[in-house]
């Protein structure tokens, strides 16, 4: 099965490229990256709710968002500035997780029309160093590993 979202992270490089093709018209894909209430919807999940403190979707605008856990406690806050904002084409912004050792990252989002109903997003993310990139990549891995491990234990315990 072809995997829809592709991540290219070359060994020893300090950037990654994430690509994804969507069954959505270009305008809707872009909108989903430009309007706070839409981003909040797709960024939130069962473990955390994402809300923007502010989002100025324009050149030289800035943004700040926070994610709260199920108990309503702020789990983390992130912010950055928008360097470039070209509707249906490109967003260039910085991203920094507050009070974290991960540094600031430069994110270049390129939006492309594939057909009337399909579109493609290419996210190029550049980190301060190779080590910081690898740390960020490992974040969901350590969380995921715990979850996978719990699942494995569930499965194995059912076998007994």
d(CA 25, CA 149): 39
Q: What is the DSSP letter of 83?
A: E
- Rank residues 59 and 141 by Cβ distance to another protein and give the closer one: 141
CA distances from 24 to 20, 31, 43, 84, 110 (A): 11, 11, 18, 23, 15
- Rank residues 23 and 70 by Cβ distance to another protein and give the closer one: 23
The interface region with another protein, picked from 40-48, 53-61, 70-78, 87-95 by CB under 8 A, is 40-48
Residues found near another protein in the complex (CB under 8 A): 1, 3-7, 9, 18, 20, 22-25, 27-29, 31-32, 38, 41-43, 45, 116-117, 121, 134, 137-141, 143-145, 148, 151-152, 155-156, 159
């Amino acid at each position: 099965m072809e995997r829809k979202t592709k991540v290219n992270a070359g060994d020893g490089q300090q950037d990654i490229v994430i690509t994804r093709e969507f069954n959505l018209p270009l305008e809707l894909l872009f909108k989903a990256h430009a309007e706070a209430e839409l981003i909040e919807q797709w960024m939130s999940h069962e473990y955390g709710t994402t809300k923007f403190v502010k989002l100025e979707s324009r050149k030289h605008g800035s943004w700040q968002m926070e994610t709260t856990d199920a108990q309503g406690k702020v789990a983390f806050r992130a912010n950055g500035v928008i360097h470039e904002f070209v509707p249906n084409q490109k967003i260039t912004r910085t991203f920094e997780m507050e009070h974290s050792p991960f540094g600031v990252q430069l994110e270049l989002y390129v939006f492309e029309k594939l057909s009337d109903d399909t579109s493609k997003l290419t996210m190029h993310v550049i980190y301060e160093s190779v080590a910081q990139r690898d740390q960020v990549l490992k974040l969901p891995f350590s969380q995921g590993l715990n979850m996978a491990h719990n699942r494995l234990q569930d499965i194995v315990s059912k076998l007994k």
